Chain A
Amino acid sequence: MLSKKEQRKEQIMQSALELFSVKGFYNTTIPDIANALKMSVGNMYNYFKSKDILAKEIIKYISIYLGHKLKEINELDISTEEKTRKIIEVYFETAMKKPEMIDYFLRIYLSTREVFKDGCEGMICVNEFVTEIMIYFEEGVKCGDLRDQDFFSAFGLFMGYLGGMVFLRGENILPKELDDYVDDISYNVYKALSV
């Protein structure tokens, strides 16, 4: 159970995410976020001391959210092929139900490095998510399903592909909804990564 303060922090992050996705990161101010939640600006600062701190907490929040979902998949007693499909399903489902989350990752975290360079070095702020992807790869190789290769060549193929699809959706370019692509993309990813 989250404490009352933690619950409130989560509400703030969720509200900030929604505002960022509509107004953009730089156009959204702390007073905007406070207004949306009918909070005083002073009270907001009790939860997050600055917008930069809020920005870093949000990326960690997203990483933990996705990391937990991937951990559940990693712990299932199913083949790597089935895991591959489930990871893609979870990622696309999140992109459809909570588009602001993946949007934040793709459009703010990856392209606003000056905000994240102190405190989010390397993959520190997306550790939970990346760790589960690593475990999915490692276990796939260990059981003989996936081909052993450099982590980043596999990671780039997997996440670049999924991120690209979600980006195209965000640009309203995709003719179909993301879940219509799950079959083909699961097939392609697994074919590319398997032995």
Chain B
Amino acid sequence: MRVLWLSSIACNGNTHSFLNYPYMEQFLNDFEFIYHPVIDSNYSLKEIVTETIACDILLIEGSISDEFKRADVPVVDIITKYAKIVKKIVTVGTCATFGGIFRESDYKDTTGLHFVKEVKIDKFKDLLNKTISLSGCPVHPEVLVNTLYAIKKSVDLQLDNFLRPKDYFAYTVHNGCTRNEYFEYKVDNHKFGELEGCMFYDHGCQAPFTHGSCNKILWNEVNSKTRAGLPCMGCTEPTFPKSNLFGTKKNMGIPQDLPLGVGKRTYLTLAGITKAFTIDRLEKKLFDD
């Protein structure tokens, strides 16, 4: 399969993430980049923008603005041209999907391909049935590669309302978190980087309301933010990035954002019960100093 990796307004974070894919050699045997910003490819960017090179999948990295150009050609024109000939379009990362952090850039009307935050936009609406969104800052390399293989094998992927494959985005990042016991009993005596404590109650962890597989498909096959002792920052969500990522926004002690689908009364009832008990094992260090 022939793939075009088109960088729009981006930091190349998704490229960096992708380069950590552990089975790159196998991948490059199965897929050919007609162009990639950092991997050797058969065509130059100039050729990509001036000609129309045969291609099966268009990958878009970065936010999109009418003002932004690659090789002196508006990126929206490059997208429009290749969108016509490819089988599928994949937005790689949160910027390409929802606008992400580059919504704050100086380029005018910076958006994702189909969304600005949660709001659907009309600009490329004809491409909606061709698009798969892979949000994340950056996107997990296995999520990207497995999606490309699914396209290659013509697997019919079920997508959510933001066109994200449910295989990876139907879960929350909380799913598989090694700190779940601390969450259950509301123990957040965490210090950044340490093994103990849940980070939802005080440290800003967004995992219980963030869609993603970070704790199911580990990063570099070994770890995740929450496992390492850092809060989930909600990087796959349309609202990313929020501010004050290391503190839980609370109103009179109650977290403003609650676990996905959990009503306020349900949450408070459960919290009231668990708060009534102290579990010594969870208050202590796992290993003695």
Interface size class of chain B, counting residues whose CB lies under 8 Å from the partner chain: 10 to 19
Partner of A149, one of B252, B269, B273, B275: B252
Q: What is the distance, in angstroms, from B171's C-beta to the closest C-beta of chain A? A: 28
Q: Which residues 241-258 in B have Cβ within 8 Å of A in the complex?
A: 250-254, 256
Interface centre among A138, A148, A150 (most CB of B within 10 A): A138
Residues of A within 8 A of B155 (CB): none
Per-position binary interface string of chain A over residues 142-154, scored 1 when its CB falls under 8 Å from any chain B CB and 0 otherwise: 1000101111101
Residues of A within 8 A of B265 (CB): 131, 135
Find out whether the CB atom of B252 lies under 8 angstroms from the CB atom of A151: yes
Residue on A nearest B254 in the bound complex, by CB: A138
Number of interface residues, chain A, beta carbon within 8 A: 23
Residues of B within 8 A of A110 (CB): none
Asked if A121 CB lies within 8 Å of chain B CBs, one says yes
Partner of A141, one of B252, B264, B277: B252
Residues of A within 8 A of B250 (CB): 148
Per-position binary interface string of chain B over residues 257-270, scored 1 when its CB falls under 8 Å from any chain A CB and 0 otherwise: 00000001100110
Asked if B276 CB lies within 8 Å of chain A CBs, one says yes
Q: Which residues 151-193 in A have Cβ within 8 Å of B in the complex?
A: 151-152, 154
Partner of A123, one of B253, B254, B264, B272: B272
Bound-complex Cα distance A131 to B270 (A): 10
Residues of B within 8 A of A148 (CB): 250-252
Interface centre among B250, B251, B254 (most CB of A within 10 A): B251
Bound-complex Cα distance A131 to B264 (A): 9
Per-position binary interface string of chain B over residues 213-254, scored 1 when its CB falls under 8 Å from any chain A CB and 0 otherwise: 000000000000000000000000000000000000011111
Q: Which residues of A contact B (CB under 8 A)?
A: 121-124, 127-128, 130-131, 134-135, 137-142, 146, 148-152, 154
